[in-house]
Structure 1
C-alpha cells in the first residue's frame, strides 16, 4: 500500500460486501433454474426458452449504460447514487416473485410471455441497483491495494450468496412437493426478500452529500439517451485496458453462465439425482468461499493481472476434465468442480478489483470521472455474457434433441441430448476460458501505474 492510501473503515467494507448477498442471489438463482423452469415445468421448448431469456437480457444490456450515465448525473447534482440503489432494492422482490408466479394451466406460449415480461421488469430493478453499486469502489477507495481489499471481501460474500441460493433455492423449491408451481413460488418469495434486503443494506454505504468525487464528475453526460450511449462508447474507445478487461470478463461470464444454466440438467440427466444439484453447488462454492482471500494475497505478491491468469487456467483445466462424464459419470465429478470453484473465486474478485483501477486511471488521465458510465457498460457486458451462456445451452439442447415437459410429466432423453448437456458443462466453458486469456493479454495497467496516479 502506498503512503497516501487511506485504510477503509471496516463498516464500509462490510456494508459494501452485503450488497453481494443480493447480486449473488440474483445472478445465481435465475441462471440456475429459469431455463429449467421454462422447459421442464411450463412446457416451453428449449429454443423458445433461450429466446425469452436472451430477450430479457438484451433489454438489460440496453438500459445499463443509460442507468450508469444517469447515476453519474445524480452524483454530480445531489452527491449520491443512493436513490437508484434503494429503488432497485425495493422493486426487485416484487417482480422476482411475479416471474415465478405463472398460474398452472396456462398454455406454454402464454406462460413464456408472462415470464418474459416479469423477468424484464426484474432485470430493470436489478440494474437500478447493480450499476451504481459497481461504480462505488472507485469512490470509496483511492488506492490499488485498498480496492483489492474491498473487492476481496465482497467476493467472499458473493460466493457465500451463490452457495446459499444455489443450494438453498432448489431445496425451497422442493417444499412444494408434487406441485412444482407452488415450489417455485415459495422459492421466489423467500429469495426475493433476502435479495432485496441485502441490496437495501448496501445502499447505505453510498456516500451522501457532494464530496470530492462528486465534484470531480463535471464531465458527466447530459441530455438524453443518445448522449448516454455516446458516453459509453467514448469510455470504450479511449481505454484499451477497459476494453480488454471487459471482453475477458464477458467471455468468462459466458463460460460460467453456460455451466450455471446446465447444472440442473447435469444433476437430473447425467448424475440422475435432483439432490446432486445442491452437491454440485457446495463443491463449486465452498472452495471459492475460502479461496477468495487467498487470491487477494496472490494479487499482492504477483499482481492482479497475473493472479487473474492463474485463476482462469485453473478453472478452465478443471472444466475440461469434466468431459469424462460422457463415459463415467459419478461422484468423482465433485473434485474437479471444487477446483473450478477455487479458480472461480479469483475470476470474480480480481477483475472486479481491476475495474476501479481502470476507472480511477481514466479519471486521472481525462479529468472527468465517469464511474457510473464505466459501470453501466461493464454491467451490460457482464449481462451479455451470462445471457449468452443460457442461450448457448438452449441451442445445444435444441440441436441434440432435448425433450421438454410440463409439470411432473416423465420423459426420456436420448444419448445425444445427454452428450449435449455434458459438453455444455465442460468442453464449451473450457474453450471460452482459453479465448478469454487471449483478450486479457491486452490489459496494460500495472500497480505502478495506479500508485503513480495516487501519489500525484
Structure 2
C-alpha cells in the first residue's frame, strides 16, 4: 500500500485542534496555495544559504586571522563538525519521514533549525577572548556544531517537502527554480552583506558579531515565514511499516544506505554533487584570502563580487529554466559546471590591485554558472528520488534528502579540511589582529591554487561522473503515472 498525499489545515494555536485535508496522490496544489508553496520553497533556502554562506566565506579566515587558530587546526575543526553533522543527516531524514505531529512531518524540524542556526552564528563570530588557543578551539567547535545542526534541520525537510509537493516533474523544476532564487538571495545576504559590513567597521571582533546578529535575524525571520507559508502544502504520510524501523536506528541507517546505493541515478548524481560542492566550497573560502592576500583588496571588493554573482544567478535563472526544457537538465548541468571551472581558472591571470571591472565580470559569469548548477543539480536529484518511488511504491523523500545533505556536508568538510591543511603545510601564518600576517611565496601559491586550479579540477570530475547518468524524464513520468494509478 502506498502513501497518501495530504495537506494540513493550519498550524494550531494553543487551543486549536489540527485538521488534515486529504487529497488524491499526485494531485497538484492550485491557485493561491501554489504561490504560497513556491514562496515558502524560496524562503527555506534563503534562510539556510544566508546562515551557511557567511560561515563558508568568512568562518575559516575569522578563525585564522582573528582567533589565531592555525589554518590546519581550523580546517580540521570544520571537517570534524561537518562529519558529525553529515552523519546526523540520514537520521534526521528518516526521523522526519516517520514523525507525527500536529504540524505535520517536516515543519517542526524547520522551526528548530531556524533557531539553532542563528545561535551558532552568534557564538562563532562572538567568540570571546579566552586567553587560550585550546579553549578557543573547543568553543568554536561547539558553536559550529550548533550552527551545522540547525543547517541540517532546515535543509532536509525543505528538500523533502519540494519532492513530495508535486508529482509533475515540470512543477518540481519550477519549485527548484524558486529554491534557487531563494538560495541566490540567501547567498547575497550571507556573503555580500557581511563583507560590506566588515568594510565599514573593519575586521574587528565587534564587526564580526554585528554581521552574525544581522544574518541570524534574517535566518530566523525567513524560517518563521516559510513555516507559515507551507502549513497547507501537500505532504505524504509515512507507511505504518516504518514504525518497525524506529526500534533500531542502526538498522534504519543501514537500510537507508542500501536504498541510496541501489538507486543508480541517485548514486551517480551524488558523486557529481560531491565534486561540485568540494569545488565551490574551497573556491568560496579561498576567495576571502585571495582578495586580501593576493590582490591586496579590501573586504568591500569581496562583497561586490558576491553581489554581482548573486544578481546574475537570479537574472540567469530564466535562461537556465528555458534551456533545461529544450536541451535537457543534464546538458545544462554539464555546461554550467564547465563555465564555472573556466571562471575559476581565470583567477590565475589576476594581479595585485585587480580592476573592479574584471572582478565584477568574473562575479557575473560565476553567478550565471552557479544558478545553472544549483537548478539542474537539485532538479535531477528530485527526479532520482521520484525514481525510487516508482520503483518501490514507498515514500522515502526524507531519507534521500538526508543523504543529499550528507554528501553536501562531507564534500564541504573535505574541502575546508584540505584547504586548511594545505595552507598550513605551505606555511600560512595565523594572526589575532583581524588582519592577515605577511605571507610567504608558498602560502600565496597555495591560496591561488585553492581559488583556481583545484575548483576547476573538481568541476571536471563532476562532468565525467554525469556522463554515466541515463535516467530519461519522459520514461520516469510514464512510470510514475502508472504507480499513481495503482495507489
Q: TM-score, normalised by structure 2?
A: 0.87
Identify the residue that residue 311 of structure 1 maps to in structure 2: 336
Per the TM alignment, residue 177 of structure 1 is displaced from its structure 2 partner at its CA by 4.4
Per the TM alignment, residue 403 of structure 1 is displaced from its structure 2 partner at its CA by 0.9
Per the TM alignment, residue 289 of structure 1 is displaced from its structure 2 partner at its CA by 1.6
Identify the residue that residue 94 of structure 1 maps to in structure 2: 119
Change over 3 Å in CA distance of 1:186–1:222 after alignment to 2: same
Secondary structure at 2:432 match in 1: coil
Q: How do residues 295-444 of structure 1 correspond to structure 2 at under 5 angstroms? A: 295-325=320-350, 329-331=354-356, 332-408=358-434, 411-444=437-470
Per the TM alignment, residue 206 of structure 1 is displaced from its structure 2 partner at its CA by 4.4
Change over 3 Å in CA distance of 1:207–1:303 after alignment to 2: farther
What stretches of structure 1 move > 6 A for 4+ residues in a row? none
Cα displacement string for residues 116-161 of structure 1 (whole angstroms, at most 9, x for unaligned residues): 0111012112212211111111111211111110110210121122
Cα displacement string for residues 153-190 of structure 1 (whole angstroms, at most 9, x for unaligned residues): 21012112212221101223355447x11111111111
Whether contact under 8 Å (1:28, 1:166) holds in the other structure is: yes
Change over 3 Å in CA distance of 1:410–1:320 after alignment to 2: closer
d(CA) in 2 for partners of 1:134, 1:324? 38
Identify unmatched segments of 5+ residues in structure 1.
Answer: none
Whether contact under 8 Å (2:54, 2:194) holds in the other structure is: yes
Q: Does 1:159 align with 2:187?
A: no
d(CA) in 2 for partners of 1:75, 1:440? 37
Identify the residue that residue 141 of structure 1 maps to in structure 2: 166
Identify the residue that residue 481 of structure 2 maps to in structure 1: 455
Higher-helix-fraction structure: 1
Change over 3 Å in CA distance of 1:282–1:444 after alignment to 2: same
Q: 73-82 or 412-421, which moves further after superposition?
A: 73-82
Whether contact under 8 Å (2:52, 2:190) holds in the other structure is: no
Whether contact under 8 Å (1:156, 1:293) holds in the other structure is: no
Q: TM-score, normalised by structure 1?
A: 0.93
Secondary structure at 1:60 match in 2: helix
Paired residue total: 451
Change over 3 Å in CA distance of 1:15–1:212 after alignment to 2: closer
Whether contact under 8 Å (2:90, 2:406) holds in the other structure is: yes
Identify the residue that residue 232 of structure 1 maps to in structure 2: 256
d(CA) in 2 for partners of 1:439, 1:287? 27
Cα displacement string for residues 218-267 of structure 1 (whole angstroms, at most 9, x for unaligned residues): 55742232123113212222200001111111110000000111111011
Q: Does 1:15 align with 2:40?
A: yes
Cα displacement string for residues 374-400 of structure 1 (whole angstroms, at most 9, x for unaligned residues): 000110101111222222221221122
Whether contact under 8 Å (2:156, 2:401) holds in the other structure is: yes
d(CA) in 1 for partners of 2:88, 2:58? 24
Identify the residue that residue 64 of structure 1 maps to in structure 2: 89
Identify the residue that residue 13 of structure 2 maps to in structure 1: none
Whether contact under 8 Å (2:197, 2:211) holds in the other structure is: yes
Whether contact under 8 Å (1:7, 1:146) holds in the other structure is: no
Cα displacement string for residues 286-337 of structure 1 (whole angstroms, at most 9, x for unaligned residues): 2112112211111111111111111111111221222223699544243234
Q: Provide the aligned C-alpha RMSD in A.
A: 2.3
Q: 191-200 or 35-44, which moves further after superposition?
A: 191-200
Whether contact under 8 Å (2:282, 2:455) holds in the other structure is: yes
Q: Does 1:445 align with 2:462?
A: no
Whether contact under 8 Å (1:57, 1:384) holds in the other structure is: yes
